[in-house]
Chains A and B, each alone.
Chain A
Amino acid sequence: MVRTLYGSRIRSQATFRTSFLADLLGQLLVVSTEFLELWVILTQVSTLGGMTLTQVAVVYGLGALAFGIGDILFGEIDGLSTQIKSGKLETLLIRPVPVLLQISSLDLSLRRIGRIVVGLAMYVTALVLAGFQPTAATLLLAVLAPLAGALLFGALFTVAGALQFWLVDGREFANAFTYGGNYVATTPGAVFALPLRAFFTFVIPATLIAYAPTLTLLELPGPALIPAWAGWLGLPAAIVAWLLAGLLWRAGIRRYTGAGG
């Protein structure tokens, strides 16, 4: 059933081929520009948070890849307030399938694949250039990290979406939440002052998505609060985040049936 749901979205996208291509190119441009900004900063200071350009590129590529996968699978959830206002949510509630799954497959935007492509290319290339020495364990981490990161982003999207059960005009707020998370994830965590770093590691675990795994993969010493083994914390953090997100979502649905929009 999950396959039918997502598969049909892909089919509907394929019918708009030209706009799809335009969107894809746009995405490539956005991602490249973002990285260019980081690069410009690096030409000024030569290291960012103790990392060289290639090392930053690993963080950036991994973060973009994780965000890309998370966005393509769960990115629609933060548009929940639109579904509530248009009454679409009511039609989702009368089906025997969890609303969360229906919404996440509602608009599987293939154009978002651009970010995944760029992220993946950058991640792999930069890893090689940065002198990644794979062992069985670190190779596993290299594969696991983008997936755990995607799950973390998914949980973040779900929290942002669930909050809209309370804040009906919450899309802007949600965007700040998720795209802010993306910004933090693609930036070396050491550049943040300690309180902020703690916040983005333990509250919104964005540094665990790309920065911490990069430290572990490249065997770099971490800054205070983010030890090298923190790279392995992505998956457990994702599980905890999903538990919380799931609870919040259920509370949101209960609030909706109680208040009625």
Chain B
Amino acid sequence: MKPFAFERPASVMDAAIAAAVPGASIIAGGTNLLDLMKLQVETPSRLIDINRLALDRIEPTPEGGLRIGTLVRNSDIAADIRVRQHYGVLSRALLAGASAQVRNKATTGGNLLQRTRCYYFYDISKPCNKRRPGSGCAAIGGFNRIHAILGTSQSCIATHPSDMAVAMRVLDAVVETIKPDGSKRAIAIAGFHRLPGSTPQVETVLERGETIIAVRLPPPLPGVHIYRKVRDRASFAFALVSVAAVIQMAGGRIQSARLAFGGLAHKPWRVPAAEQTLEGEAPSPAVFQAAADAVLAGAKGFGSNDFKIPLTRRTLHAVMAQATHS
């Protein structure tokens, strides 16, 4: 760990200003950042500790949704009675993630901004365009069991590892931020994370110093809320494939279907065409297959992650069968 300065700004505005200084990094729960610092994957020269700011509440919004402060711990979101009643998919996604100890520390903003778990990204002796732009991508042609099959580029095939973000994507959450100049903006989660393209080191649309204050959930979505996470052990493992689904039935037909996928891409993956394929249809294996075809359009495996293509198909089928009792 390299020596670094440590500061505790008195307001979010101060935090954003401090975070804009080159080499500065915000620290929230620290569950991701500290690990990366120990390995010198990240080497901030200043840490901006926001833990004492009053950003730790979950409040109702005038539109009938919820506003989750960035410092609300993952375990507190998952346990909140309003979240459990009206946003089951979010509560389930959070509880499927990490371990109780990590969830007790992990924050909303930190979870959205956690870095990829790509093995090579974590080892500074290996080429990695995300860590060292231009050095190459060791995962392509290497071991890539956990890597992306959609939205990849020649520069990077990493996934975004979050479970929470996948549920937020299916709920169409909005990320609220503040910039160093004091202006605020609301970013739809759909546009929050970026695909790797030729600049995999740029993971979100956040600007320098721009700090997350909260995440807003729109009014609750009716229907069955499912979060299905497929992983290599029963707990404490990242998703190989995950599906967040909110499905509403009417008269034996699928009235509305919202589906977001984790473990497949550099961001939570959502395909409107797949949802349209399902809507208005009576549930059947053929309909589920058609939806899977739409989700997997353009999917490409890289060797050790080829299995994710059939796995996504089968998991989607299972989730739809569960949601529609078919």
* Chains A and B are bound partners: no
Residues of A within 8 A of B (CB): none
Residues of B within 8 A of A (CB): none
